[in-house]
Amino acid sequence: MIEARRLHILRAVADHRTVTAAAAALYLTPSAVSQQLTALEQETGHRLVERGAKGVRLTPAGEILLSHTNAVLAQLERAEAELAAYGKGEAGTVTVAAFATGIAQVVAPALARLGRSAPGIGIRVQDAEGDASLRMLLDRQVDVAVAVEYRGAPPADDPRLTHLPLYAEPFDAVVPLGHRLADDAEVPLAELSKDPWIGPYPGNPCHDVVVLACESAGFQPRLEHSSDDFRAVVALASADAGVALVPRSALRGMDLTGVVVRPVDGVAPTRRVFAAVRRGAEGHPLIRPVLEALGQAAAEG
């Protein structure tokens, strides 16, 4: 009989590619993870992982088991949801991981809405970039992730997750007040190819949006300054350190002294924001109202 907790470990190893990283995500020791993998191999009668200089990869047998693991764990989530519904799970805490502007845009309004419509549900919010929140969700550190589509993100049909689209927003060009394009109604990105740029670090989903937009305009941005805090990005632009692309919602309420904000000429770069839960958990009586409140907040935002 295969133990479900060992399937969790197998998936974590497949996600993180090393025993050490999987152990850290699961709050186990590397030796405990290795022991559980060995026990799983004994249960199945197959070698499931191969260790190499660059980490761990699944064998063909391991890949077969992983495909069933995603279905089994999703079904267990559904079982927990149905049992919670049977027990009238009307009170409890749901942990939501979201990036800063996502918290302001949809999480905080959803929290306020739930305070009125479902006072028994408590929300614990954790600030996490869009790529980090999905990993936290899959590692069972949080219940809901508010994330951004990016290169390498799990697709909408990922068997581990259920996606709920929330909103899409354009990026605006931010240029210093004395910039040669400051008086233009719209800014063609190609005209910024020679400028120094300010932007998020690689790995931040917004970094991908900026780089892809510039590549589509025919150039690679020369990123001279890096920050994941858009307040810092705008402050650097106001000091004439370079130009930037910033999500429109991040600019709300910000001190824009010293910069000019203009829409991008043509098709504006856009970030698409969604909520995600582990597949099967979307019907949980605590999680379902949270998803509904996030969707309503996005629709009204």
Measured distance CA(124)–CA(143) in Å, rounded: 10
Residue 60 and residue 142 share a domain: no
Tokens of 128: 């996490």
Residue 287 and residue 234 share a domain: no
Residue 266 and residue 173 share a domain: yes
Domain residues for the domain of 36 are 4-81
**Last-in-domain residue among 31, 50, 81:** 81
Residue 173 and residue 138 share a domain: no
**Last-in-domain residue among 21, 53, 81:** 81
Helix axes 130-138, 4-16, angle to 10 degrees: 150
Residue 140 and residue 282 share a domain: yes
Tokens of 30: 């590397």
pLDDT per position as a tens digit, 126-162: 999 867 899 999 999 999 999 998 877 888 889 999 9
Report the CATH number at residue 76.
1.10.10.10
Average pLDDT over residues 53-78: 86
Instruction: Report helix, strand and coil shares of the chain as percent, to nearest 5.
Output: 45, 25, 30
User: How many structural domains are present in the chain?
Assistant: 3
Residue 278 and residue 134 share a domain: yes
**Last-in-domain residue among 45, 61, 81:** 81
C-alpha distances (whole Å) from 250 to each of 20, 83, 253, 270, 290 are: 36, 40, 8, 13, 23
Report the CATH number at residue 185.
3.40.190.10
Residue 168: its pLDDT value, please?
94
Residue 86: its pLDDT value, please?
60
Residue 99: its pLDDT value, please?
92
Burial state string for 268-299 with b = 16 or more CB within 10 A and e = fewer than 16: bbebebbbbbbbbbbbbbbbbbbbbbbbebbe
Residue 9 has pLDDT above 70, yes or no: yes
Measured distance CA(222)–CA(194) in Å, rounded: 8
Residue 293 and residue 252 share a domain: no
Residue 17 has pLDDT above 80, yes or no: yes
Which phi-psi region, left, alpha or beta, contains residue 88 (left: φ > 0; alpha: ψ -120 to 50)?
A: left
CB 199 within 8 A of CB 229: no
Residue 67 and residue 43 share a domain: yes
Which H or E run includes 165? Answer: strand 161-176
Residue 122 and residue 249 share a domain: no
CB 146 within 8 A of CB 105: no
pLDDT per position as a tens digit, 290-301: 999 999 999 997
DSSP sequence for 90-112 = --EEEEEEE-HHHIIIIIHHHHH
- β partners of residue 146: 98, 275
Residue 74 has pLDDT above 70, yes or no: yes
Residue 56 has pLDDT above 70, yes or no: yes
Residue 75 has pLDDT above 90, yes or no: no
Helix axes 30-44, 19-26, angle to 10 degrees: 100
Highest mean pLDDT among 87-96, 204-213, 255-264: 255-264
Residue 87: its pLDDT value, please?
67
Residue 263 and residue 283 share a domain: no
Residue 284 and residue 152 share a domain: yes
Which H or E run includes 293? Answer: helix 287-300
Q: Which residue has the higher pLDDT, 85 or 270?
A: 270
Residue 258 and residue 221 share a domain: yes
Average pLDDT over residues 286-291: 94
pLDDT per position as a tens digit, 155-195: 888 999 999 999 999 999 999 999 999 999 999 999 999 99
Confidence band of 223 (pLDDT split at 50, 70, 90): very high
Residue 41: its pLDDT value, please?
86
Q: Percent of the chain at pLDDT above 70?
A: 98
